[in-house]
Amino acid sequence: GENVEQHPSTLSVQEGDSAVIKCTYSDSASNYFPWYKQELGKRPQLIIDIRSNVGEKKDQRIAVTLNKTAKHFSLHITETQPEDSAVYFCAVLEGNTGKLIFGQGTTLQVKP
Amino acid sequence: DTEVTQTPKHLVMGMTNKKSLKCEQHMGHRAMYWYKQKAKKPPELMFVYSYEKLSINESVPSRFSPECPNSSLLNLHLHALQPEDSALYLCASSRSGGGANYGYTFGSGTRLTVV
C-alpha cells in the first residue's frame, strides 16, 4: 500500500517568513494530493490540493508543488501570520480504493 | 449543502454502554468513511463504504460496527469500548472511491471519551 512521509515534524518561523513542508509517497499510481490544516480541537480543513497532471498550484499565500518523477510534493506558505499556526497534514489518495493516506503531520508555529 | 454533519459533537460513555455516532451528507457523495484520530496524530482510516456497501475494513475490532442505511447516512455503533478507544472520530465523504473529482470532505468530528 501507499506510504507517506512528511517532514519536518515541527517548524517554527517568524511572522512574515516563508514555511515549506515536504512529503514523499511510494505509489506512482497515486494521483491526488491534498493538504489539510488542523487547528486544536477542530476537523482537518482542506487548504489546497493538486492532481497528478499539474506541477504547481497557488491560492493567495499558499502553493503546492508536485514532482511526480521523484514522488514528492511540498506546501509553501509565504508571508506567514500567527493564525497560520496549526498542524498541517499532507495526504495521498491511494489509487482507486478511495483511501486517504496521511503524513504524520507538521506542527507549524508562527511567532509574532 | 457542502457539509458533512456529525452528531453528537461530544460523547462520554462507560465501558459497558452501547452508543452510536451518526454522520450525514447531502452532497450526493457515494463514498463515506470513518476515521479515528488520536491527539497530535494523523487520522487513521477505519471503514470505507462505497455505494452503501462496506468496501474496506482496516482490521477494526468488532466493538466498532459500521452501518450505512442509505447513501446519505453513515453510523458507527459502539459497544464495550476500552479507554484507549477515546479519540476524535471523523466521518468523511467523497464523490467516489476514485476518479478525477473527489470532493473529499470531513465532518467536524465526535470527541469520544470512554470511562
Q: Which residues of B touch A7 (CB under 8 A)?
A: none
* C-alpha cell of residue A2: 501507499
Q: Any CB–CB contact under 8 A between B41 and chain A? A: yes
Q: What is the pLDDT of residues B33-92, one digit of tens each?
A: 999 999 989 999 999 999 999 999 999 999 999 999 999 999 999 999 999 999 999 999
Query: Is the CB of B104 less than 8 angstroms away from the CB of A100?
Result: yes
pLDDT at A55: 92
pLDDT at A54: 80
Alpha-carbon gap, residue A37 to A105, rounded angstroms: 9
* C-alpha cell of residue B11: 460523547
Nearest to A94 by CA among A17, A28, A10, A48: A28
Q: What is the pLDDT of residues A49-78, one digit of tens each?
A: 998 778 999 999 999 999 999 999 999 999
Alpha-carbon gap, residue B29 to B13, rounded angstroms: 31
pLDDT range class, residue B17, cuts 50, 70, 90: very high
Q: Given A34, A95, A102, which is nearest B42 (Cβ)?
A: A102
